[in-house]
Structure 1
Amino acid sequence: MSTLLAAPVRPADRVRSGALLLGTLLQLVAGGLGGSGAFGLSVGVVAQQNTTVVMPVPAAFSIWGLIYAALLLLAVRQVLPGQPGRPVHRATGWWLVASTVLNAGWILVFSAQAVVLAQVVIVALLVVLAVALARLTAHPAEGVADRLLLHGPVALYAGWVSVATVVGAATTGTFLGAPGAGGVATVLGALVLLVTGAIAAGVVTRTAGALPYAASVVWALGAIVVMAPPLPVVVAALVALVAVVAAAVRRVLAAPHSGRVAAAFG
């Protein structure tokens, strides 16, 4: 029987659901402060002060609007009747709460120009999202709503943070005095992008929300190419991008024809 119909609610479920909704609103506020420069410097300004060969074009960060909107829908849905007691929310809820706190913390810390601490925080965020996505993968979606309002948002978020963590590492290196451009930076940037693409392609082949995850990774890699870095970095980003797209296509084609969309999202 579907767990959508068998979900007795405990007090702890309501606490967790409320915490996720509050955390989601908190990160929206933090995002507004960090993006506008109302708290410290804007995230964009700090990033531009520590440019690297793997920096995405600034317009790419508009994806945060989509991510925040999707996460808000997720948070609102999971407090509705019939949702808080579901096993999938019990398995992932507190991990997602942690992700909201870490994301808000990263924005404020980065805006305060504590770049090294910000990198520690975003690595923790990536780990938390990886656990949440793994737990979602263990709980197949129960219908279109789960695919669009649970698996999809978490996978989209995790994909973007996967690349943002790599970009952040390069930014941190520049902040600490490493060259942001030149021969060594170019070689390291290209190698890191190739590894990132290989890992992301592997994730796409086995995770829930494969298409949203792949889409956000491709968006990030494409934004690096558009920024026109040195040729080796462009080539590495394109190779990584193609690997992720190929993995997504294989994932869809491997499923029965009638269930291909479900397989890619659920």
Structure 2
Amino acid sequence: MTGDRIEDRAGPGDGWRAAAVVVAAGLQVGAGAVGGAGLWGEAVGEVARSYPTLLLPPGAAFAIWSLIYVAFAALAVRQALPGQRSRTVHRRSGWWLVVAGVLNATWVLLFAQRFVVPAQVVIVALLACLAVAAVRLRAPADGWADRLLLHLPVAVYLGWVAVAAVAGGATTTAAYGAAPTAPAAITALLFTGAAAAVAVARLPAVAGFAASVCWALGWIASGASVPSVRVAAIAAVLAVVVAVAVRLRRGPDPADVAWG
């Protein structure tokens, strides 16, 4: 049994936390369905396209939300099982994931109503919560179940939201008639790539994170109408790929061997 599996006696707080994670997973799915169909205000995609920027990826990129919701739901169900509730790793990350789920649902409802500034504040807060949850997972994964049903969902979620927060900032400025120029978009992309590369070197689980960051940046590159912006997005992807290669070459850190 690894250090991450050391358990204390289960308490009532574990049950409440586990239930809250399940509820947060449901909220995200519900809000995503409502926001995607435009049942509360306008469809999220329509709102985003009404404020075009050089950092807005094509619509196909957002299919990753289905993966995020399914993976988060799987995480929620597993952590609620009797044998999982009292694990230290869930106690350390659970409430942060609850807040993340609530923030995601809140973002959808705000953005659908074109409250773009509050929505941007919320997505930045969502990014912060996911980052804390990811860092608090810093412990050896207890087998493939942890890698696939704990580390991977959080890592993929964090990677996508990291880029979405940057793209959302561009959308927010565009909503006020100040869409980023090509130099500003290039700077934002290069900064995002550099920040993601640093995160790859430091996060306990990086495969899912790197994949979702590259997914988002790749779609931005494919949809960019300005060649220099496309090159910057590709350069950001390459920075992340190089960081992953360096991490693999270095080998897993004994303190955090989870690559899911």
Same fold (TM over 0.5): yes
Between the two proteins, what is the percent identity of the paired residues?
A: 50
Name the residue aligned to 1:9: 10
* Cα distance in 2 for residues equivalent to 1:132 and 1:116: 25
Q: Residue type of the partner of 1:93?
A: G
TM-score scaled to structure 2, two decimals? 0.95
How many corresponding residue pairs? Answer: 258
Answer yes or no: is 1:190 the counterpart of 2:186: yes
How far apart, CA to CA, are the structure 2 residues paired with 1:67 and 1:248? 21
For the 8 Å contact 2:151–2:258, the answer to whether it is kept is no
C-alpha RMSD over aligned residues: 1.7
Q: Which residue of 1 aligns with 2:32?
A: 31
Which segment drifts farther, 15-24 or 225-234?
A: 225-234
* Equivalent position amino acid for 1:252 in 2: L
Q: How many angstroms apart in 1 are the aligned matches of 2:58 and 2:73? A: 26
Structure 1: distance between partners of 2:151 and 2:249: 20
1:244 maps to a residue whose letter is V
Report the AA paired with residue 34 of structure 2.
L
TM-score by structure 1 length? 0.93
Letter aligned with residue 74 of structure 1? L
Match of 2:47 in 1: 46
Contact 1:252/1:263 (<8 A) preserved: no
Which runs of structure 2 are paired with 1:63-142 in the superposition (5 Å)?
63-137=64-138, 139-142=139-142
Please give the alpha-carbon distance, in whole angstroms, between the structure 2 residues aligned to 1:102 and 1:240.
27
Aligned to 2:259: 265
Distance 2:143 2:81 in 1: 16
Per-residue deviation, residues 197-252 of structure 1 (Å, max 9, x unmatched): 00001101121220100000000000001113311111110110000011112212
- Structure-1 separation of matches of 2:144 and 2:124: 31
Contact 2:35 2:42 in 1 (8 A): yes
Give ranges in structure 2 of 5+ residues lacking alignment: none
The offset of 1:5, in angstroms, is: 6.3
Corresponding residue of 2:174: 174
Q: Distance in 2 between matches of 1:229 and 1:156?
A: 27
The alignment partner of 2:94 has SS state of helix
